């Protein structure tokens, strides 16, 4: 038997390989990834990794884990084609790899922004440890940095570089930061603290062009006509799913590889998980594509169960975190589903949570430096328990849950 082959050795792929063994799968497991590294954690790349010149990537599992679990890890290899009829993968080097079942865990990549001057040196985006190393090296010699896009990764980098003494400007097209992800109250709080920390925020502003000198970026010219000095430009305008392989194999896609509640693509022997997939969410009833470690690893666990013959639907509670300067943001649930919010705690102290409700039902909690609310939220949402908005605002959740 050719066993299971997993394409993509990131958070989802590595967890799928581990979970197959935990679920008792005894056949061959092969994990193929195109990065030249032992698989590692991505979240630190925009956080601790940029702060310390000597920081090394944190591996997801030690090399001995793969050997011990009988997982054939082939990193530095790229899959370029799927022959569905022959159940065989084609590798970039010309090799081939047979499979009985295939898991696509190809992740996402930074959205590219077509810009006049976009081919100058000194323009970066962040996805891999190779990108993070390049950013770290370049930032060491740059006084002025412009971040394009006020999303999580862009703001994490902005806060880190500003704390490290760089002059940082964030250019955001929308009227608020993190606009697609968090409540307006959180956006305003994050903007206030970043500004207090010296980050300049240019809202409702886009980029007209980049200017260079001697082939290197020197300034960003905004839609307002301002010329902002920049020895380095970071493009953080979101990510797009990596679906080329899936598309070439004829799998159904649409903002990601379409999967059912068991992580099966439109071709049953091919499953897909992580940032690359799009699915009907059990909580919101809408089609979503989530980019988080939780989503990647929980889907990986479920895909392993599907392969070992269980029919469990995906029902994990979504959660996410982001560290922006001195703000630990933690989110649980899908905030878009709610129609009312209440705030617990004190924004002035940089410690509060926003509780989202749809009628009487708690749908999400967004916390800033209130980890207990987040942890309780994960339990409450998993159990389908809703405190009243008054109880949530009163800040006595622990007692309420103990009584319940």
**Residues at the interface with ligand FAD (CB under 6 A):** 7-13, 32-35, 42-43, 45-46, 78-79, 105-107, 126-127, 153, 242, 245, 274-276, 291-294, 296, 320-322
d(CA 241, CA 277): 7
Exposed e or buried b for every residue in 95-104, given b needs 16+ CB within 10 A?
eebebebbbb
CB of 60 to ligand FAD, least distance (A): 9
- For 18, the 3-state DSSP assignment is helix
**Which residue, 10 or 333, is less far from ligand FAD as judged by CB?**
10
d(CA 273, CA 251): 14
CB of 134 to ligand FAD, least distance (A): 13
**Which residue, 126 or 344, is less far from ligand FAD as judged by CB?**
126
d(CA 378, CA 387): 13
- First-to-last C-alpha distance (Å) of the chain: 51
CB of 44 to ligand FAD, least distance (A): 8
d(CA 72, CA 344): 49
Residue whose structure tokens are 């890890």:
73
Q: How many CB atoms lie within 10 A of CB 218?
A: 17
Q: How many CB atoms lie within 10 A of CB 395?
A: 16
**Which residue, 21 or 78, is less far from ligand FAD as judged by CB?**
78
**Which residue, 107 or 338, is less far from ligand FAD as judged by CB?**
107
Q: Using an 8 Å Cβ cutoff, are 126 and 45 in contact?
A: yes
Position with the least CB separation from ligand FAD = 10
CB of 389 to ligand FAD, least distance (A): 27
d(CA 329, CA 349): 14
d(CA 68, CA 64): 6
For β-strands 4-7 and 29-33, DSSP reports them as parallel
CB of 195 to ligand FAD, least distance (A): 22
CB of 72 to ligand FAD, least distance (A): 14
**Which residue, 95 or 360, is less far from ligand FAD as judged by CB?**
95
- For 24, the 3-state DSSP assignment is coil
CB of 113 to ligand FAD, least distance (A): 16
**Which residue, 4 or 219, is less far from ligand FAD as judged by CB?**
4
């Amino acid at each position: 038997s050719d066993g299971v082959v997993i394409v993509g050795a990131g958070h989802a792929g590595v967890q799928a390989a581990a979970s197959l063994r935990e679920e008792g799968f005894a056949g061959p497991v092969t994990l193929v990834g195109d990065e030249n590294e032992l698989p590692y954690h991505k979240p630190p790349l925009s956080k601790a990794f940029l702060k310390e010149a000597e920081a090394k990537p944190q591996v997801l599992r030690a090399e001995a884990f793969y050997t011990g679990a009988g997982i054939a890890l082939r990193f530095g290899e790229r899959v370029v084609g799927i022959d569905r009829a022959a159940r065989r993968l084609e590798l970039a080097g010309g090799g081939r790899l047979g499979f009985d079942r295939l898991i696509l865990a190809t992740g996402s990549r930074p959205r590219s922004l077509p810009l006049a001057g976009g081919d100058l040196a000194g323009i970066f985006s962040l996805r891999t440890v190779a990108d993070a190393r390049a950013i770290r090296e370049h930032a060491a010699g740059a006084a002025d940095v412009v971040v394009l896009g006020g999303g999580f990764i862009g703001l994490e980098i902005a806060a880190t570089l500003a704390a490290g003494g760089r002059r940082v400007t964030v250019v955001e097209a929308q009227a608020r930061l993190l606009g697609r992800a968090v409540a307006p109250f959180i956006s305003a709080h994050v903007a206030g603290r970043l500004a207090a920390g010296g980050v300049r925020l240019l809202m409702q502003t886009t980029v007209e062009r980049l200017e260079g000198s001697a082939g290197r970026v020197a300034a960003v010219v905004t839609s307002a006509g301002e010329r902002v000095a920049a020895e380095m430009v970071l493009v953080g305008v979101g990510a797009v799913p990596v679906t080329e392989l899936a598309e070439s194999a004829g799998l159904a896609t649409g903002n990601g590889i379409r999967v059912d509640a068991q992580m099966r693509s439109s071709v049953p022997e091919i499953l897909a998980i992580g940032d690359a997939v799009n699915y009907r969410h059990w909580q919101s009833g809408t089609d979503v594509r989530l980019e988080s470690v939780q989503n990647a690893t929980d889907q990986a666990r479920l895909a392993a169960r599907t392969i070992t013959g269980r029919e469990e639907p995906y029902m994990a509670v979504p959660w996410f975190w982001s560290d922006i300067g001195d703000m630990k943001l933690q989110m649980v649930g899908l905030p878009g589903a709610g129609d009312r919010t209440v705030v617990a705690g004190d924004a002035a102290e940089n410690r509060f949570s926003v509780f989202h409700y749809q009628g009487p039902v708690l749908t999400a909690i967004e916390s800033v430096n209130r980890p207990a609310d987040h942890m309780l939220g994960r339990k409450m949402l998993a159990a389908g328990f809703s405190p009243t908005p008054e109880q949530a605002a009163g800040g006595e959740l622990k007692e309420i849950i103990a009584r319940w």
